[in-house]
Structure 1
């Protein structure tokens, strides 16, 4: 009886798509939900993996005599995937709201397979920049689609935490990349190993592609578009026989509302859109500026602790930096765990503001430790505070916010626009970070990043809105989730 659907709380005359929404909201959590979550979260895991891996392989490329790179080309390679992510999130986020979730859900890992191989085989910098841009399109598509799909298939009582768990897998991907990069370089301590490191994403993407072939269209999206019979069948395919939803004959089928990407900028939606789009780039400037270049930062402050059993001093230093970055990035996972626990106890806006403030304080500690002669206690304490509270705050809340303040028909578009704004900030800082280090030094560069943490807190406070309980609004007749 565990999978039996609870008695619906809607009147028989309620619109048909309300019944589908309510069925999803009240379905007991089971292993099928976990399957959907896992194949969705895998997309963000691959995002974290690929972005962190670029930070590992760039110094190896720069030493490869068969792959000459200028300083600008190095920055362009790091930024190309992020620019592709920006375009992919913006374009695919709008398309999946119009044409459905399923096709992009399957296309994204296929893109990663093709252009992951192309990146590993790149004969020159121009090829790699183009391949990484196209690779980023697949990563970008997964930001809005994974968020929308999980939010539209999970029971109401755990929905926000399951969506938060998706973005948490980005940090898991970063730690996994550090582990793979470390052991690959330790097993074969040569600069030419960078090609195998870039190719290591391909098997993961191939498995995700095969698993996603079994996942049907979002029942909520089908219901919102008046395809009620397909929605009820998708419920059964997705969540099992216990999810059968009986639609009363008198329940009217309401034509789907016309909507477009420009609805995000209507007068009644501007504040929500601003809350999604303005803090996100402030956060991503910190995530990518610090995250991708953590090994470089450790080398700058001589905190890399070179591995002693490697004869090649350059490789030994790189291994030490990768190990140190991986250990510090483990705090990212801990931050997400803390954030998910806090979600049921505090508001998203409060978590986001507190997280930005703690990020600022963490960077101040790193700057102070660096200015005082590379004091390890201050530097590592600052990094841990920064990483932990970033993921317990804005890295979690910016991703989950669209599902809580936007209706279904605009959810992926809003998530895509927010992710695109975030990746715009990330692309700029990735391109400029090495140049800033050269011009301003480490303390000056960290001061720039810390300034954006303050701006993120101010933007969150200025455009704060309360999340909407769409399920409750539907049941009480206050509003439609569309």
Structure 2
């Protein structure tokens, strides 16, 4: 199982940043090629007055939540076919078969993605950027220290978000058992998890809708603020020994807040603030820092709960969320700052910075990421 998780981490860990980067660049390529009634194509950085390009990236991310629910749905179907009894040798044999079948079925979407990726091609924006600058991504970051601040903002905020997200899930069983009652039935555990995951879908949808009006930076800051409020409310409910129904409702609100804001913005922000030549690499570093936060949160929260109690755990989550909001505001650049820096053209090296009023070669500069 450890080997399987390692291979999964390498595959998904690489595909996660690459998918977002490819969607961003392909969307920009299509926008540049689209016919326009103006003499010059519209600019497409995050600071532009048109629709936020990260919306298409966020729409792709939406399917992560239904995809996470699918194994539980398939498990429910297998349990309905094989029987829901939770004892006896026949149940153990059927459960063993169902587990292996469910694990093996995970290869089906993997093979589909592998084939689709094989027949895909690099975006014009990426090809042009790599042609203009042969330096490796890490050398580009070294030569442009301002990118380190952006890496800090995205990576550290992702670390803090996953610390709260994965750490708080350790206590999910306590809340669920208080509402539904303790159960060792696999069938009950599956549909309990599906109910909780469903609360995250409206959060992702709302985050995508918010990107029509907010930048990824604003979405992330407000998302951390909402997480803080729900964690404080949960801590108060636990401390006051509120009813199980109220605590479950607040936990669903926490799941909603975790699906909103940083859940989406940590996926879209690296595609906004990093230039083409280093985008996927910096995205991968940020995603890796997020997994470190998830590891620390998952490993430490049960110990923390033994020391400070469940209410103390949620207060710690609230404090970490406040820290995440501060990191976002301090290190993640605003859309206005991104537009003024025109950093992508600087990283391209051989491509001159696009000056105001200079539209003679704007279409070519858009393709190589210099605008």
Q: TM-score range by the shorter chain?
A: 0.7 to 0.9
Gap runs ≥5 in structure 1: 1-127, 227-254, 307-312
Moved over 6 A (4+): 470-473
* Structure 2: distance between partners of 1:259 and 1:129: 32
- The aligned residue for residue 444 of structure 1 is 312
- The aligned residue for residue 63 of structure 1 is none
Shift in alpha-carbon separation, 1:200–1:281, aligned structure 2, 3 A: same
TM-score, normalised to structure 1, is 0.59
* Structure 1: distance between partners of 2:294 and 2:171: 15
Give the superposition deviation at 1:267. 2.6
Give the superposition deviation at 1:262. 4.5
1:433-472 mapped onto 2 (5 Å cutoff)? 433-467=301-335, 468=338
1:57-456 mapped onto 2 (5 Å cutoff)? 128-154=1-27, 155=31, 156=44, 157=51, 159-188=53-82, 189=84, 190=91, 191-192=95-96, 193-226=98-131, 255-264=132-141, 266-291=144-169, 293=170, 295-299=172-176, 301-305=177-181, 314-315=184-185, 318-373=186-241, 375-456=243-324
Deviations 1:253-280 (A, max 9, x none): xx42524315335332232222111111
- The aligned residue for residue 118 of structure 1 is none
What do you get for the CA RMSD once the two structures are aligned? Answer: 2.8
Shift in alpha-carbon separation, 1:179–1:367, aligned structure 2, 3 A: farther
Deviations 1:19-75 (A, max 9, x none): xxxxxxxxxxxxxxxxxxxxxxxxxxxxxxxxxxxxxxxxxxxxxxxxxxxxxxxxx
Shift in alpha-carbon separation, 1:384–1:298, aligned structure 2, 3 A: closer
Shift in alpha-carbon separation, 1:439–1:179, aligned structure 2, 3 A: farther
The range that moved more, 366-375 or 275-284, is 366-375
Larger RCO, structure (CA 8 Å, separation 6 or more): 2
The range that moved more, 434-443 or 410-419, is 434-443
DSSP 3-state at the match of 1:378:
helix
Give the superposition deviation at 1:136. 1.0
DSSP 3-state at the match of 2:179:
coil
Gap runs ≥5 in structure 2: 32-43, 45-50, 85-90, 346-352
TM-score, normalised to structure 2, is 0.76
* Structure 2: distance between partners of 1:415 and 1:284: 15
- The aligned residue for residue 112 of structure 1 is none
DSSP 3-state at the match of 2:278:
helix
